[in-house]
Structure 1
Amino acid sequence: MAERYRFPEGPLVDVAWLAARSADVEAGRIVVLDATAQLGAPTPQERYPVASGRPLWEEEHLPGSRHADLLDELSDPAAPYHFSVAGEDRLGAALARLGVHDGTLVVCYDSGDGSWAARLWWLLRDLGVPAVVLDGGLSAWRAAGQPVTDSPAAPPPDGPPVRIRTDRRGWASLDDVVAIVEGRRPGALVCALGEGQFTGAEPTRYPRQGHIPGSRNLPFGGLRAQDGTLRPRAELRAAAEEVVGAPGATPLTLYCGMGVSAAGLALGLVAAGYEDLRIYDGSLEEWTADPERALETGPAR
């Protein structure tokens, strides 16, 4: 049985922290997962051209890492939208294939802007699996002069199955969001997309433009520094308080297009000290599919 690894404080680790623990990665006490997926520009034929990021992982990745398939293996194939939350049995089996067992710590990263890694981190966090995000991802790892490889992943070690938490509360459904919009449930809706997409001034891949009525706007992109890492905690806190108030002021339900940038926003908010958070899993892909569901344009009221 793997030794239970001490969970780092906060949702992030930096390159130096992970580089110093290569022996723990090799021993299976730390499992490093690349969560990259590929989202192309919308076309007249396909609004959501999404593909696995495994080919990118095969080209180069952190030594000892494996690719986590958010698109298929870690999602519900029966859901009407992408990157849906799968059931416990499917998730447990997928994590076992990745070498994630009871007592291991998962370090999530990606080769993009960090939102894929954040989506995996949020999924694991909701399951009760210890997980952190490598701040800055593959870009930060390479910038620090750390090695990358194209070697196949070693077979994952055997171990006891992960203990999945039964009181999962990290996700909001369509009904939950409708209840907030109609004032039947407390909380604020927060859109993680850029201002232009939020107001409807810029085109999106969705059938209709704008945001869910009553939403506030805190773009995930604004929480990142120029090097791709998250901004310092004090800056994150100040940016968040300007939009949603202090931690604990109200429950927050985050959304974006497909629940990915919203996970990046969740990562920034948790790093800033916020805890009462959920992600609307279907996000605008689900909301805009029904023309009867209202959308607002313009700035937040």
Structure 2
Amino acid sequence: MNPGPFIGAAELFAALGGDTAPVILDASLVLHRPQFDGDFRTDSGRSAWEAAHLHGAIHVQVDTDLSIPAATHNHHPPPQDLADRLARFGIDADTPTVVYDSTGGFWAARTWYLLRWIGIPVWVLDGGLDAWRAAGLPVESGPAQARPVASWSARPVREAWIELDELRETECGAGNLVCALSLPAFSGTEPTRYTRRGHIPGSVNVPARELFDDRGLVRPPAEIRERYRDTGTDLGREVLLYCGGGISATVNALALVSAGVETIRIYDGSLEEWSADPTLPLHTS
């Protein structure tokens, strides 16, 4: 499969008939738009997966299966814990894996970022289930059976996260702290799922959804890079990404890697952690 982080529908369909067919994860999960400050609601995407999914696709409930549900921030499990969870889905260190969802691509990006962190060869289906159907490719319904593998030893293969204490001491400059939320959320003009509205001082805004076209396909590399440069981001330096709870930021990471930008870390606590501390400033504008 191709060296970039995305795989197209036609290429994936061709790979399914080969000897090294990937494990396919359907990461669909519904995150509702907040109606008031502090309104955080999700619904499982399992019913949507059961109704229609790629052949053999296994549903993964990202907020429980690949997260620490009790955590209020920094939801990623430790590497070995993550590896043990993935083994239940038939994934080890060398398992080619393709992730998609039917709910906008955000949870597929989160899953991609986690698997990439510990070195699993992983791709995201460009455009998700909608692109698959638009290509006229078949779907199936009903349950799919995972084939667990033996436990395996995992370790991070790249720096992926920045913690609050380090972020507070970091002089980002040049727009290199980037918020992936929408402009209204960044500006604090709409309700937030978290404690307070606004953005971290000194950060700039590159909304995750704007890095994809109306069909949900990733934009060309030159266009992605231009959107960052328009905010003053220096793509020759490390880019730090955040959002509300570490999901939208992984979409930006996915798009940046597709554009050849690899030096990235995510503040997984994001506004969920930052806004909960009243001593930490937030700007609205």
TM-score greater than 0.5 by the shorter chain: yes
Tell me, yes or no, if structure 1 residue 175 matches structure 2 residue 175. Answer: no
8 Å contact from structure 2 (residues 194, 271) kept in 1:
yes
Match of 1:164 in 2: 154
What is the rounded CA distance, in whole Å, between the counterparts of 2:172 and 2:248 in structure 1?
26
Deviation at 1:18, TM superposition (A): 0.4
Match of 1:242 in 2: 230
Question: How many equivalent pairs are there?
Answer: 285
What is the rounded CA distance, in whole Å, between the counterparts of 1:168 and 1:226 in structure 2?
32
**Structure 2 unmatched ranges of 5 or more:** none
- CA offsets 1:245-287 (integer angstroms, 9 cap, x no match): 4532x21110111111111111111111111101111111111
Change (3 A) 1:56 1:45: farther
What is the rounded CA distance, in whole Å, between the counterparts of 1:35 and 1:185 in structure 2?
35
Q: CA RMSD in A?
A: 2.3
Change (3 A) 1:216 1:75: same
**TM-score, structure 2 as length reference:** 0.92
Match of 1:75 in 2: 67
Match of 1:124 in 2: 115
Return structure 1 stretches of 4+ with deviation > 6 angstroms: 184-187
Deviation at 1:243, TM superposition (A): 2.3
What is the rounded CA distance, in whole Å, between the counterparts of 2:120 and 2:109 in structure 1?
14
Tell me, yes or no, if structure 1 residue 85 matches structure 2 residue 76. Answer: yes
Tell me, yes or no, if structure 1 residue 62 matches structure 2 residue 46. Answer: no
Percentage of matched positions with identical amino acids: 45
**Structure 1 unmatched ranges of 5 or more:** 1-6
What is the rounded CA distance, in whole Å, between the counterparts of 1:235 and 1:86 in structure 2?
33
8 Å contact from structure 2 (residues 50, 141) kept in 1:
yes
Change (3 A) 1:234 1:70: same
Tell me, yes or no, if structure 1 residue 145 matches structure 2 residue 145. Answer: no
- CA offsets 1:196-255 (integer angstroms, 9 cap, x no match): 21112233222221100110111111111111111112211221222244532x211101
Among 42, 46, 60, the residue aligned to 1:50: 42
What is the rounded CA distance, in whole Å, between the counterparts of 1:287 and 1:120 in structure 2?
23
What is the rounded CA distance, in whole Å, between the counterparts of 2:16 and 2:271 in structure 1?
40
Deviation at 1:187, TM superposition (A): 8.2
What is the rounded CA distance, in whole Å, between the counterparts of 1:20 and 1:72 in structure 2?
32
What is the rounded CA distance, in whole Å, between the counterparts of 1:143 and 1:185 in structure 2?
42
8 Å contact from structure 1 (residues 99, 156) kept in 2:
yes
For the residue of structure 2 that corresponds to 1:51, the secondary structure is strand
For the residue of structure 2 that corresponds to 1:107, the secondary structure is strand
Question: What is the one-letter code of the residue matched to 1:67?
Answer: H
**TM-score, structure 1 as length reference:** 0.87
Among 188, 213, 219, the residue aligned to 1:225: 213
Tell me, yes or no, if structure 1 residue 101 matches structure 2 residue 111. Answer: no
For the residue of structure 2 that corresponds to 1:247, the secondary structure is coil
